[in-house]
Chains A and B, each alone.
Chain A
Amino acid sequence: MSEHNTDKGDARVERARAEIRAQAATLRERPLLERAASPASQPSGSRVDPARLAYRIGELTDAHHQAFVDQAFQALLKRAPSPAESDAQLALLAAGATKAEVLGNLRWSPEGRAVGARVAGLAPRYAMAKLRRVPLLGYLVDIPLNLAALPALARHQRASDAMVAAGTAQAARNLAAQAEATSRDLALARQRLDDLHAFAHELNVARDDLARQFNEVDSQLRSRIHALEDANGAVAGRFDEFEFIRQRFYAINHWMHHLTESFARIEGAATQGDHERRREAWPVAQACIEADAARSARNAVWADALRALSTPGALLFTGACGADWVASIAAQDLRVVFADADAPLAAIERTDRIDVEAVDTFEGLRRSADAGLDGAAFLAMSNLLRARPLLDWLRETRRALKPGAPLLLADAREPGAIVDVLTKSQPRAAADLPSWTPSLFAAAGFADAQRIDAADGTPAWLMQRGAA
């Protein structure tokens, strides 16, 4: 395969090459075709075979005039004569030279010698013809030869006369036939000319029609272009409007962003202020608790109640209560998770039994896994219910408790609740625990709800998470 074709790398050519190779492999298996006559045949009408190198002189002298010259060149020089060569040989014949002399001249020319064709009988005839060209000697040789040939010449003359007469008659017939054919051709040519005129007319009509169609198309295209330009202008106007709106949108977005940042700063400042106030109020709340004489007995009762429903080492969740309650639970051989936003203020230390999360109590409960707690206790329900309704607390607590785990709900005065009272201007809404009923808790998924109010009258409910 050629590297150049490969370099060009065209897949189609390469595929064609492969197919040609395959085709070539089967070509010789095809049946042999019968050779047809081709229009490429030699136009000279020569009867001699130019491929041969040996001839008889009679083969070459049969033809006359132009045909003789063409045949002589094909046989002896293996080519056609040029117009000048042909004219020269015809002039020689017209001057009385014999055909043998013309043949001899060609055969023994340098070109003829190179070809080397053999013509039997040509050499003595050519020699005699040349001898006749020698002054005086040629004349002396010519006379007796011609005298001896007189009878043959006379026969040849008579034959020539007959042939000329026949030729003349034939030529006249040919001329008449030719004239008739010419007049037919002329009529045909006139007919063709008329046809051409008609065709030219049709072409003109078609051209005019085409030009008209072009003009229409041109006009339509121009109107389309105008319409497109108008539409383009309108679209450009709309784009301007969109751009205006886009700019306004960006400006509003910018303002909103700054507004949000400002609100965040205000909120942060408020939160910070709230924290400051709660920090200031915390010692007061602590002092109130320490002044509550019934607190320790109350916490002990509730801790015992929870312990009774729990196994040693159980995990109990609580929040919104004081550090003493967490300590009392831990003392019951229970583990405690204390979640309260005020955890830093409560200063409850982490131990192997106490885990502290400084987050909102409800958020701490929400972070607990499903059925991950063994119990829960919320002592300041009035305070917790201000952040979330009771239903949320019951639903989230039920999700986090294991089946049968205890839940304690009370409404005691815990530090966070006291701080709320001290720092917030709104009146504290008390949780109305005494009005709650076991059926309410049962509907929320808790069983065995019972009042375990403290001795000082602080209301409290103890219940267990239902199994379902």
Chain B
Amino acid sequence: MRIAIFVAVLGERDAVGTDAREMAAALSRCGHDVRVFATSGRDAEPPEALDEVIADPQAVLIYHFAFGWPPGVDVLRRARCRRIVRYHNVTPPEFFAPWSDEYERSCRAGRDEIATIAKLGCELYLCDSPFNAEDFFAAGVPHERVAVLAPFNRLDRLLETPAALPVLDECSRGATWLAVGRLAPNKAHLDLFDAFACYLDRVEADARLLVVGSEDARLERYNAALRERIHALRLESHIRWLRDVDEGMLKAAYLVADALVSLSRHEGFCVPLAEAMALGVPVVALDAGAQAWTLGGAGLLWDSADPALVAASVERLRADPALRSELRERGFARVASEFAPQRLERRLADVIEAL
């Protein structure tokens, strides 16, 4: 079967790019003729070359939808082949309103596109999580045209990669919190800093926070607010920034962490949770977006980002080996049953066969 995977930007390490690349590899292994199209990205063909594939009624187009992008909608509209919309969720614009007009506009356009794409009557809306599927149900898509498939990932590679020794050596003593994800308002790093400061003040004064993620130059007002909060809470010497990390450094960060803390207020899936579960790192998270489904009970999930509650959670995890073990076992089981690459590949093959 001819399959075209279409994504605006084919990133190397971001969640959407990883999903598109690994999906292409999985479908190729199943014997399909797979090509990837994007405006930029290694190994991607330009979108202009897509016309020949989408004119073939026997072909399948998989469009990765993660933000507002009119050319993507245009391709879906023109396609004469079977169409699958791979939905990674669009962050609500309200999160960006105080920080970036550009982001707010882009997210608003993306949210508006949900209704537009829903009306196109695509053969399947393949969502990362049940939380994402709700967007298309709300837009009137029939239930039989919506399916859930967790995003493809690189968990197996992360497990095999040796951890970077310098990071391991640096963090050999004291409590270590870990936060993974780009610096964006919906990820709620301000809440994270508040909770971490509470931990430093009341539980353990020499703890550290590893922040894996990069700043976005278009969110400078937000970045400045983060810096000011760090300064106000006197956290400068306790935060270790890990930017542009490779898999070895990322794995080292997970291995030294006592807990992955994710207080994000909006997530369509949250890949770091799956990574933490695969590496046996306990998770403390806010019950928002898809995080509850992704965790599946394998973490301490709270309905409030109260700093004392989060700090007490990490304290308990450090002091209670039985609880850590219980959550770790649940995490391993969750990954094995839902997010293991082989399992995702089999489910995707079933989805394609059922078209």
Contacts and interface: CB of A to CB of B under 8 A. Distances in A.
Interface of A: 1-5, 7-8, 10, 12-13, 16-17, 19-21, 23-25, 27-28, 30, 32-42, 49-51, 53, 78-80, 82, 110-111, 114-116
4 cross-chain pairs, A with B, having the tightest CB-CB distances, nearest first: A8-B297, A40-B208, A36-B206, A40-B240
Contacts, number: 130
B238 interface: yes
Contact count band on B? 35 or more
Interface string B211-231: 000010110100110011011
A428 to B, nearest CB: 95
Interface stretch (B74-82, B149-157, B167-175, B338-346): B167-175
A41 B238 CA distance: 6
B52 interface: no
Nearest to B204: A33
Contact of B230 (A7, A17, A33, A51): A51
Interface of B: 170-171, 173-174, 198, 200-210, 215, 217-218, 220, 223-224, 227-228, 230-231, 234, 236-241, 243-244, 287, 292-293, 295-297, 300-303, 306, 308-309, 311-313, 315-316, 320, 322-323, 326-327, 330
Contacts of A50: 227
Contacts of B201: 32-33, 35
B206 A16 contact: no
A7 B296 CA distance: 9
Contacts of B220: 114-116
Contact of A12 (B292, B303, B309, B326): B326
Contact of A79 (B215, B311, B315, B323): B215
A5 B301 contact: yes
19 contacts: A1-B303, A7-B297, A8-B296, A12-B322, A12-B326, A13-B323, A13-B327, A16-B323, A20-B312, A24-B313, A27-B203, A27-B308, A33-B201, A34-B205, A51-B228, A78-B223, A79-B215, A111-B217, A115-B220
B240 A28 contact: no
Given A3-B292, A78-B223, A38 B206 contact: yes
A4 B297 contact: yes
Task: Classify the interface of chain B: helix, strand, loop or mixed.
Answer: helix
A4 B292 contact: yes
A111 B220 CA distance: 10
A19 B330 contact: no
Nearest to B330: A8
A51 B235 CA distance: 11
Contacts of A40: 170-171, 208-210, 237-240
A26 to B, nearest CB: 9
A211 B33 CA distance: 54
B301 A27 contact: no
A34 to B, nearest CB: 6
A468 B283 CA distance: 94
Contacts of B306: 24
A78 B227 CA distance: 9
A21 B309 CA distance: 6
Given A7-B297, A30-B202, 15 more contacts: A2-B303, A13-B323, A16-B320, A20-B309, A21-B312, A28-B198, A28-B202, A35-B200, A38-B238, A39-B171, A41-B237, A50-B227, A114-B218, A115-B217, A115-B220
Nearest to B239: A40
B196 to A, nearest CB: 11
B206 A37 contact: yes
Contacts of A80: 243
Contacts of A25: 308
Contacts of B217: 110-111, 114-115
Contacts of A41: 236-238
Contact of B300 (A20, A35, A79): A20
A33 B200 contact: yes
Contact of B174 (A8, A32, A39): A39
